[in-house]
Structure 1
Amino acid sequence: MKTWLDAWPVFRQLTGSDPLGRGVAARSKATEQVVSRTATADRVVTSVCPYCAVGCGQRVFVKDEKIVQIEGDPDSPISRGRLCPKGSASKQLVTSPSRVTTVKYRRPYATDWEDLDLDTAMEMIADRVLDARAKGWQEQDAGRRVNRTMGVASLGGATLDNEENYLMKKLYSAMGAIQIENQARI
């Protein structure tokens, strides 16, 4: 006959076959019904942590097109499945209810910021890049043909990997920019 004492986890731990409390002694009806978020995911996407230049590998677990968990990728030669505290909390970067999803913009001479949707902001950026390219365009310099713009420059950050910097170099070169630098470390 079971008593209240048998249901007490500490008693089960001390008198049972699990003195460290890491197995049967720690189990309850509630824990038997718990299913991990990774077990119910529809798919797993590999990614890279966005926080620093190390480039730790991440596994992003997705269910119903929503991120349910982010963990370190054990197949990553860089981090071997480990993440720092910022990388471990990166799920909050995309799922937090306080995440900013609009672009803050203050028009010239305005005193207040306004929210713009991303499509509008991207169109404004594209228009300004093309305008800067056109205004700074040089066809010749001291009689030599150069076909370049001095109105656009790029400085890549350390969180960009070599492949991203390669693509940026191609993009800016195609636009005619010649002032292109980066500090890729991975």
Structure 2
Amino acid sequence: MAGGKNWISRWPVFRQLMGENGRGEAARSARTDALRPRTEKADSVAKSICPYCAVGCGQLVYVKDGRVSQIEGDPDSPISRGRLCPKGSASKQLVTHPGRQTQVLYRRPHGTEWERLDLETAMDMIADRVVRTRRETWQQEEEGKVVRRTMGIAGLGGATLDNEENYLMKKLYTAMGAIQVENQARI
């Protein structure tokens, strides 16, 4: 039983309960001492802004061997003071997740399989469809009033777009005559 008492006295919880304040050496263990910050071996760190919404929380992006190794809140940010919401905390996955799509995938109408397209082909297909839809659904007048609009094109922005991207998208949709423009970043 002497070994049992020794084990209990080495247990961090026991030391915290019996110590004066439960912090410092009482809370330490060999495992605690072996832990290292994920940012410790980074080659560089860049200040950035979280891309998810219009709040603009500051982020520190840690880079190791030319790849993002960790993203954390920037304590110097007057907006977020080092804190990130769950979406911002998971933003590293935007560039590092193995399931992230890096090629254009297209499924033809009534198709059952995805096929890869080069970016230029996909962009041409989108442009052709936008021009055709605008031409086919353009309304110059409605009930005798000049409206100059299309109801065939709508836009839905996402929370991964920043303020500048959303601003440019709104300008583009407005220039095309679309009036149904919304954003889901409020959720």
TM-score normalised to structure 2 length: 0.64
The CA distance in 2 between the partners of 1:174 and 1:126, in whole Å, is 14
- For the 8 Å contact 1:162–1:184, the answer to whether it is kept is no
Offset of residue 173 of structure 1: 0.9
Q: Percent identity?
A: 63
Offset of residue 154 of structure 1: 2.0
* Structure 1 residue 95 corresponds to structure 2 residue 99: no
SS of 1:75's equivalent? coil
Larger CA deviation: 159-168 vs 72-81: 159-168
TM-score normalised to structure 1 length: 0.64
SS of 1:172's equivalent? helix
Corresponding residue number in structure 2 for 1:115? 116
Larger CA deviation: 171-180 vs 121-130: 121-130
Corresponding residue number in structure 1 for 2:166? 165
1:18-167 → structure 2 map (5 Å cutoff): 19-20=25-26, 36-38=40-42, 40-41=43-44, 43-50=45-52, 56-63=57-64, 65-84=66-85, 86-157=87-158, 160=161, 162-167=163-168
SS of 2:129's equivalent? helix
- For the 8 Å contact 1:103–1:116, the answer to whether it is kept is yes
The CA distance in 2 between the partners of 1:161 and 1:109, in whole Å, is 34
Structure 1 pair 92–170 and aligned structure 2 pair: CA distance change class (3 A): closer
The CA distance in 2 between the partners of 1:35 and 1:76, in whole Å, is 18
Offset of residue 176 of structure 1: 1.5
Aligned residues: 165
- For the 8 Å contact 2:39–2:70, the answer to whether it is kept is no
Corresponding residue number in structure 2 for 1:6? none
- For the 8 Å contact 1:148–1:176, the answer to whether it is kept is yes
- For the 8 Å contact 1:102–1:116, the answer to whether it is kept is yes
The CA distance in 1 between the partners of 2:118 and 2:111, in whole Å, is 19
The CA distance in 2 between the partners of 1:147 and 1:161, in whole Å, is 29
SS of 1:100's equivalent? coil
Offset of residue 157 of structure 1: 4.3
Offset of residue 136 of structure 1: 1.2
The CA distance in 2 between the partners of 1:111 and 1:71, in whole Å, is 41
User: Is there any run of 5+ residues in structure 1 with no aligned partner, and where?
Assistant: 1-9
- For the 8 Å contact 1:49–1:57, the answer to whether it is kept is no
Superposed CA RMSD in Å reads 3.9
